[in-house]
């Protein structure tokens, strides 16, 4: 009998009867793969069997249950990373570390191994690199220790069996995309491989209270290559973001069953691996040259206040169509702000190319960056610089009004700490440090427009 097959999207898991180039559920291209599915009668008989085999659950009063986070947490050497994890790596937790190839996942994991293996048994499993390569990195990072072990494997069955021995407190798996389960015929990295390998490993980790960190590669667009599904299975998902070639890199939790998702750790890569950046504002402002088009924004990374420089370059367009480019800032937001500036102030930008750069490889996700971006554009267009004493923050509405920003106190405190004298910020904030602003046009005329 011909097996019933369906086309399953490897990105979101949606299934279709026919192959199409694009998944209509998640809009990804070329992600559908043919997979065998159980027939309806098979499924029905399975449900019938399941109905009979069920047992009544063993339930307890909520007061009698031990909270899971009283378990021990393995501390890394990075304080901010411990905070991102909710206080360290919880025993028995399964953590997914997601990031682009080359960002530094293997590096930071080896550094974590170095710390944890001082007191605990650690196993590093790689399906990507040879033992020799991993050894080179371990040596370079000073991670060699009696309790740090290495195995090379791509078999989820073998890895789960090894975890089940309970010999290790921490197991690193680099990476999920290389794993395969013997019982499944599809290629490594496909939804069914990733889901089933993930489940097998999670079971093994839970049954022996072993902490596990799984590496997952993400594509350029920032989604986990193939297996979005894995994010639902694991306890903690941490994202490693930033520039692959220099600049700051950030680690934040996008899901954490044992902690908050507001925190962020900031890193820099040097020849001794990754290093936490303790005072990012000072580092970001160190190379600043106060020219026109440069504005200091008081922003937030998670709950941490940071000062970053926003640079704008405004040049005449050579062709009819003006070009807009943004690095570290959302391009759609930039286009919207340009429209607001043109409509609400007298500044003419439709014959200008506009480039925005957020210094240090930071990626802003803060609506309070609006005012700083607008001021940078106006400053560059008018070739008039803003006094070095000012930081800026505030959201810009479509009417050109300046709207309030959350955590203003922290932004102000950071600006004071770094020696700024004033903040150009929403008028709703009551603080003598703030020069209250309500309207974009007035603000631009006062500070950065041509007089
Ligand atoms: P890697 O951790 O292998 O990235 P991933 O596992 O995310 O693919 O390494 C990232 C880059 O970092 C690599 O190009 C080499 C560089 N690097 C350093 O600059 N310093 C170091 O100490 C190490 C170990 C790597
Ligand atoms: Mg790697």
pLDDT for the residue 230: 87
Instruction: Give the ligand 1 atom nearest the CA of 174.
Output: 6
Q: Helix or strand or coil: residue 144?
A: coil
Q: How many CB atoms lie within 10 A of CB 258?
A: 20
pLDDT for the residue 227: 55
Does 242 contact ligand 1 (Cβ within 6 A)? no
Does 128 contact ligand 1 (Cβ within 6 A)? no
Q: Which of 258, 97, 73, 102 is CA-nearest to residue 172?
A: 97
Residue nearest to atom 14 of ligand 1 (CA): 102
Mutate to test the pocket of ligand 1, among 102, 134, 267, 272 (most ligand atoms within 8 A of CB): 102
Which ligand minimizes its atom distance to the CA of 138? Answer: 1
pLDDT for the residue 318: 86
What is the C-alpha separation between 297 and 368, in angstroms, rounded? 9
Which ligand minimizes its atom distance to the CA of 126? Answer: 2
Does 99 contact ligand 1 (Cβ within 6 A)? yes
Q: Which of 356, 362, 355 is CA-nearest to residue 299?
A: 362
Chain center to CA of 37: 34
Q: How many residues does the chain have?
A: 451
pLDDT for the residue 52: 86
| Contact by Cβ (8 Å): 259, 238 | no
Residue nearest to atom 8 of ligand 1 (CA): 102
What is the C-alpha separation between 281 and 408, in angstroms, rounded? 16
- Report in angstroms the alpha-carbon separations of 127 from 88, 178, 190: 25, 6, 16
Q: Which of 256, 120, 240 is CA-nearest to residue 174?
A: 240
- Report in angstroms the alpha-carbon separations of 242 from 99, 214, 256, 296: 9, 20, 21, 20
Q: Helix or strand or coil: residue 288?
A: coil
Q: Judging by DSSP bridges, how do beta strands 434-437 and 422-426 pair with one another?
A: parallel
Structural domains in the chain, CATH included, are 5-51 (no CATH), 71-278 (3.40.50.300), 282-448 (3.30.230.10)
Give the mean pLDDT per block of 10 residues along the chain (451 residues).
75 85 84 77 83 88 81 92 94 94 94 96 95 95 95 95 96 93 85 89 95 88 61 92 81 90 88 90 85 94 88 91 94 96 92 94 90 96 92 96 94 93 94 94 88 57
What is the C-alpha separation between 106 and 113, in angstroms, rounded? 10
Q: Give every CB contact of residue 217 below 8 A, 6+ residues apart in sequence.
A: 98, 99, 100, 101, 175, 177, 224, 225
Tokens 């944890």 correspond to what residue?
116
Instruction: Give the ligand 1 atom nearest the CA of 240.
Output: 7
- Report in angstroms the alpha-carbon separations of 448 from 291, 367, 434: 12, 21, 17
Does 271 contact ligand 1 (Cβ within 6 A)? yes
Does 137 contact ligand 1 (Cβ within 6 A)? yes
Does 102 contact ligand 1 (Cβ within 6 A)? yes
pLDDT for the residue 243: 76
pLDDT for the residue 224: 54
DSSP label at residue 401 = B
Q: Helix or strand or coil: residue 24?
A: coil
pLDDT for the residue 210: 96
DSSP string spanning 182-202? TT--SPTTSHHHHHHHHHHHH
Q: How many CB atoms lie within 10 A of CB 59?
A: 7
Which ligand minimizes its atom distance to the CA of 107? Answer: 1
pLDDT for the residue 451: 57
Mutate to test the pocket of ligand 1, among 96, 104, 248, 275 (most ligand atoms within 8 A of CB): 104
pLDDT for the residue 3: 66
Largest CA distance in the chain: 83
């Amino acid at each position: 009998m011909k097996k019933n097959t369906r086309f399953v999207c490897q990105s979101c898991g949606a299934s279709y009867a026919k192959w199409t180039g694009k998944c209509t559920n998640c809009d990804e291209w070329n992600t559908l793969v043919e997979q065998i599915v159980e027939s309806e009668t098979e499924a029905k008989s399975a449900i019938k069997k399941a109905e009979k085999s069920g047992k009544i659950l063993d339930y307890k009063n909520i007061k009698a249950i031990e909270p899971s986070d009283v378990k021990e947490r393995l501390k890394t050497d990075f304080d901010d990373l411990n905070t991102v994890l909710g206080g360290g790596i919880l025993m028995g937790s399964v953590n997914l570390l997601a990031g682009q190839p080359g960002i530094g996942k293997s590096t930071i994991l080896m550094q974590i191994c170095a710390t944890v293996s001082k007191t605990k048994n650690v196993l590093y499993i790689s399906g990507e690199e040879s033992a020799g390569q991993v050894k080179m990195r371990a040596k370079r990072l000073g991670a060699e220790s009696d309790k740090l072990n290495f195995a090379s494997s791509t078999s989820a069955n073998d890895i789960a069996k090894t975890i089940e021995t309970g010999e290790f407190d921490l197991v690193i798996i680099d990476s999920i995309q290389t794993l395969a389960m013997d019982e499944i015929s599809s290629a490594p990295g496909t939804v069914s491989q990733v889901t089933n390998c993930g489940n097998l490993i999670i079971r093994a980790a839970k049954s022996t209270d072993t902490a596990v960190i799984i590496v997952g590669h993400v594509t350029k667009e920032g989604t986990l290559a193939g297996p979005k599904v894995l994010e639902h299975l694991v306890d903690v998902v941490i994202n490693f973001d930033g520039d692959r070639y220099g600049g700051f890199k950030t680690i934040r939790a996008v899901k954490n069953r044992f902690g908050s998702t507001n925190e962020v750790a900031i890193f820099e890569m040097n020849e001794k691996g990754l290093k936490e950046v303790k005072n990012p504002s000072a580092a970001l402002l160190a190379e600043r040259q106060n020219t026109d088009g440069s504005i200091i924004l008081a922003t937030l990374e998670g709950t941490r206040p940071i000062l970053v420089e926003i640079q704008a370059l405004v040049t005449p367009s050579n062709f009819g169509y003006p070009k807009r480019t943004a690095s570290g800032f959302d391009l759609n937001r930039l286009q919207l702000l340009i429209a607001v500036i043109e409509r609400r102030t007298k500044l003419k930008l439709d014959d200008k190319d506009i480039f925005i750069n957020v210094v240090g490889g930071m990626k802003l996700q803060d609506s309070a960056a609006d005012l700083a971006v607008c001021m940078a554009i106006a400053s560059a267009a008018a070739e008039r610089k803003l006094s070095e004493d000012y930081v800026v923050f505030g959201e810009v509405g479509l009417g050109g009004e300046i709207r309030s920003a959350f955590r203003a106190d922290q932004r102000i405190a950071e600006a004071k700490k770094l020696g700024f004298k004033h903040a150009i910020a929403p008028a709703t904030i009551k603080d003598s440090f703030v020069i209250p602003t309500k309207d974009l046009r007035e603000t631009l005329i006062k500070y950065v427009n041509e007089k």
